[in-house]
Amino acid sequence: MARYGTGKDVLECGCGTGLLLDRFARFAKSARGIDLSPGMLEKARARGLDVGEGSVTALPFGDATFDVTCAFKVLAHVPEVGRALAEMARVTRPGGIILAEFYNALSLRALAKWIGPAGRISHSKREDEVYTRFLAPWVIPRLLPPSAKLIGARGVRIVTPAAAIMRISVLARALRRLESSLADSRAAVFGGFYIAILQKAGPAD
C-alpha cells in the first residue's frame, strides 16, 4: 500500500476498527475511512482516525476526491460488487489507483473453505451465515467500470491455505519468505486473497 499511498489522499472502504487505516495514516497525506458499523467506527475514532458511516456502493464523497481508493476483505461480501467498483472509481482522481481485494476461487484457501466446516466470525455468527463470494481472477475484468483498467495484481496466502498454519513457529518464517517472494509473481493468480491493482483513466486516455 505504501508504494501507492505515500504522500497521497487515501480512502479505505470498509475500514472497520481502523487497523489498516491507522497504518495508512502514517505515510499518506490524508487517510479517511468509511464503514457501515457504528460500533467499529467508534473504535476507529478512538484511534484518532478520520472515519464516517457509509456504504461502498454509495460513497459519501464527491467525484475525483482521492488519489488512492482501497477495499480489503470487503468486496467479497458486497452483492452489488460492480456498483461498488464503479463508486470506488468515481471518487478516485484521474490517473489514481484503486486497490480491490477479492476472495479467489482459484486458491488453496477457497478449497479449504469448501471442504472444511464453516468457522465462526463472531460469538453469534458462522461464515456460512454471511454473504460471501469467491471469484476466479479472470472474472474480475468483466466487473470493472469503463473508467478503470487492470494494471497488475498481488496475491496473498498463495501457499498458505489457513491462517492457523502461521501459528506453527517452525513453518511460519519459511512461509512468510515464500509468500513474499511469490506475491507479485505470476503465482499471484493462486492467492487466497487476490488484490486487483486498477488505474483510473487519465485525461488523455
Rounded to 5 degrees, what angle do the CA atoms 21, 136, 69 make?
25
CATH number for the domain harbouring residue 161? 3.40.50.150
Q: What are 44-77's pLDDT values in tens digits?
A: 999 999 999 999 999 999 999 999 999 999 999 9
Residue 80 lies in a domain: yes
Q: What are 136-179's pLDDT values in tens digits?
A: 999 999 999 999 999 999 999 999 988 888 888 888 889 999 99
Residue 178 lies in a domain: yes
Domain carrying residue 108: 55-200
Dihedral-angle region of residue 111 (phi above 0 means left; psi in -120 to 50 means alpha; beta otherwise): alpha
Q: What are 76-114's pLDDT values in tens digits?
A: 999 999 999 999 999 999 999 999 999 999 999 999 888
pLDDT for position 150: 97
Work out how many domains the chain is built from and give that number.
1
Cell numbers for 119, please give them: 468457522
- By residue count, the chain amounts to 205
Q: pTM to 2 decimals? A: 0.92
Residue 18 lies in a domain: no
* Separation CA 150–CA 31 (nearest Å): 23
